[in-house]
Chain A
Amino acid sequence: MKRLLPFAAFLFTGCAALQNMDVKSMTGGRFDASNIDYSKVAKGVTQIRKGFEEISESEEYYIGRAVAAQVLTRYKALNDPGLNAYAQKVAQAVALASDRPSTFKGYHVQVLDSNEVNAFAAPGGFIFVTKGLLKLVKSEDELAGVLAHEVAHVAKKHGLKTIQTSRLTSAFTILGTEAAKSYSPQQITQLTGAFEGVVDDVVNKMVVNGYSRDKEYEADKFGAQYAKNANYDPGALKTFLARMAKAEGGNKGGMFKTHPAPDKREAELGSLSPSSAYKRSSERGRRFTTAVQL
């Protein structure tokens, strides 16, 4: 029995010491640069990151910026401050009700001056919607459904999932062995090459070929849920898809090329009912009509 006492004391002291380490590092807020991750020191081995899940929040942001920079070279931004600000608010409303309300630097929307019917979401929260698509949207609730679909692509990291594993392995190998915050010219050349490949993978899938059907259906499903959480009518997404199906006709470009057929998406969504807090609003109708004049 007595032999157990020192053991118990040891365990207690050990636990207390570990807790003290955490408490010291908390300091009520600001990150303490002197904080040391003792668990890692104890491990003392190199463990290079592997899959897309290990792309950091800040790296996702920089990948997203580069993808967005390519989109804005292919498409001209629409200079309509009122419309852009309105789309931004609707996107933030549904993003707030999503399972990823905050990205590294938030969600940002840009309307594109193109008659093509299309919308994209780059990693990190850069969302684009074309003038051509907005011409088919008839209410704020429908716009919320469209933007919520794009927020879902970001929240579910669909863009990052398109990056080839070999590219990530190569990038992480360079990054994982580099401790400095700024890089030497040789390292930056290697990293730029890796970064370029990563960005091209996302652009090719997002803009040129389109995500897989599964990812589009998943974005529809979660988008409808986010719209519902935000107290918009989730069924408005189906109404929009039905209008899109009618508009398809001979149009095989933009979203008609990169997404599953609208009628199939509509069928996949099944029945959707609004939240108990949903209510119609003349103000939503008024501000939509004011902002969306195309």
Chain B
Amino acid sequence: MRHPRRLFASVLVLAVLALAPAPGAAAPDGQMTWAVHISLAPTWFDPAETPGIGTPFMILYALHDALVKPMPGNAMAPSLAESWTASKDGLTYEFVLRPGVRFHNGELVTADDVKFSFERYRGAAARLLKERVPVVEVVDARRVRFRLKEPWPDFMTYYGSLATGAGWVVPRKYLEKVGDDGFKKAPVGAGPYRFVSFNPGIELVLEAHEHYWRKVPSVKRLVFKAVPDETTRLAMLKRGEADVVYLLQSELAEEARRTTGLTLRPTPIVSTHWIVFLDQWDPKSPWADRRVRLAANHAIDRQAMNDAITLGFSRVTWSVIPQSFDFYWQPPAYAHDPARAKQLLAEAGYPGGFDAGDLWCEPATATMSEAAANYLQAVGIRTRLRPLERAAFFKTYQEKKLKNLAYSISGAFGNAAIRLETFVAAGGPYVYGSYPDIDGLFREQAAELDRKRREATLHRIQQLVHDKAMYAPIWELGFIHAQGPRVAEAGLGLIPGWAFSAPYEDVKLKGK
């Protein structure tokens, strides 16, 4: 060897280049801080526990990655999977994993991890997924095959959107070593940010995963501070203690709009809000009477609430299903008519109104719930507001322990069938009771392969939901966020319909 020193130097340079971030990518730098409107819960660090609402994906988009997930410009973007194919008979789906992708602990993401993650998934629609997808085969380290019992047109909507967390991949070896509880204390994923620390009720700190496959994140450190008090969130934004704040309402949103340097970011999302009459299947309850449920619907002035609380950015759609969802049916509007509401109550035997008990909600929706409660009160339906922390609210809701009324929300992705499965049809995680005609039609549509006939059935179900006045739909939320002067890209609204910042590798500070 004539020039051993030169050879050594060349090898060294090559090694450094191989380990360094992608060419042209600047190293992550700076810190971006979010003031989040809810208390963060460790259950949201584990994709296996997603409960059919959007909130956990606020964290999952940073810590973890999915085979396929909604991304800017593509509602089902190949992520950990570089491609997938469905067999002509609709019975097999095969995914090819992106080569060389690693979890934060350095382990490669393999087909075995995908199979393991699917099988340990226990969140929303888990039973349905396991029933319809009885076999998951590891073809080789980069190929995984899902065998369906029968053709199921919704498979990818369940697996590849934010309807469930079943397609989000966790490291099998690490999870088996630390267990479920250990995983929540120190989650490891394949997302653009790795876990640094979590102080319950205070903050979650994440740091850039520089070898993330899609791109090197621009911001080094993400801090999510739990700030349930709206005034404090706005104050933090004004003082520069937070760069992005979630959920501002009414005057505080107006104040943010007026403040120089702050930018209001109203974000249209697929989150519908509605009041559930939890006792409607109890024959002794006033809510068992359709006229009472209709009265509640006529009592609430949604547009006034929208103008006052969300500055008109919400859309009053009269449905629990977002308008953008496949198979959506537009229900007719309920006129705001307190006189009619009182008349309906009188016809139902409650001329002086009645004590409707508790109206359960979570702190982030307390203002909206109280506004609705005031409207109910005005026609004689007297309620008490009972806020619970979001994680506790949905856990209690899911365990069927709530009574009377609940202010329900869901920002989960999917289609009309998925939203109905979660909140309307028998057996759904948040379903306290159902109606045989709706359940029959729901089973019918689930087996229907003809799209037109399925659509007609799903429309019929939504019509029945409306006719029975099962709920009091409020609106499709116009989620008002705000950002401070340091932020170049907050990631809000990049993924259509998504409520929070994402993808996090795209967020940027000015001058970086």
Judge: A and B partners, yes or no. Answer: no
